[in-house]
Amino acid sequence: MKAYANAPHKYNYRGQEVISPNCFWVRNVFNNPETKYKIFKLSIKKAFIRECKKVQPDVIYALDPTMEGRLAVELKKELNIPVVLIEHSMRKFYNDLYGLGKYEHIYKNVAKRTDAMVYVSSPQKSQFEEITGNIPKSYIVLNGFVSENITTNRKILSEDPIRLICIGYLEERKGYPVLLKAMKYLKEHSLHNFMLTIIGDGLNRDDYEHTAMEYGISDCVDFKGIISHKQVFEELCQSDIFVLPSYGEALGISYLEAMNCCLPVIGTKNEGISDIIKTGENGLLVGKGDVEGVCNAIEYYVEHPEKAYEIALNGKETVQNMTWKTNAQEMLHCFQEVILNK
Query: pLDDT, tens digit, for every residue of 33-83?
Result: 998 899 999 989 999 999 999 999 999 999 999 999 999 999 999 999 999
pLDDT at 285: 98
Average pLDDT, the chain: 92
101-115 pLDDT, tens per residue? 999 999 999 999 999
Letter string b/e over residues 134-166, b meaning 16 or more CB atoms within 10 A of that residue's CB: ebeebbebbbbbeebeeeeeeebbeeeebbbbb
Q: Look up residue 81 and give its DSSP letter.
A: -
The answer to whether 3 and 25 are in contact (CB under 8 A) is no
Beta-bridge partners for 285 = 267
Return the ∠ at Cα 181 (arms to 180 and 187), rounded to 5°: 90
285-318 pLDDT, tens per residue? 999 999 999 999 999 999 999 999 999 999 999 9
Region of 57 (left: φ > 0; alpha: ψ -120 to 50; beta: rest) is beta
- Is the pLDDT at 340 greater than 80, yes or no? yes
pLDDT at 194: 97
Secondary structure (3-state) at 321: coil
The answer to whether 291 and 178 are in contact (CB under 8 A) is yes
pTM above 0.75, yes or no: yes
243-291 pLDDT, tens per residue? 999 998 999 999 999 999 999 999 999 999 999 999 999 999 999 999 9
The answer to whether 198 and 275 are in contact (CB under 8 A) is no
Using only C-alpha atoms, the chain has a radius of gyration, in whole angstroms, of 22
Secondary structure (3-state) at 196: strand
179-224 pLDDT, tens per residue? 999 999 999 999 999 999 999 999 899 999 999 999 999 999 999 9
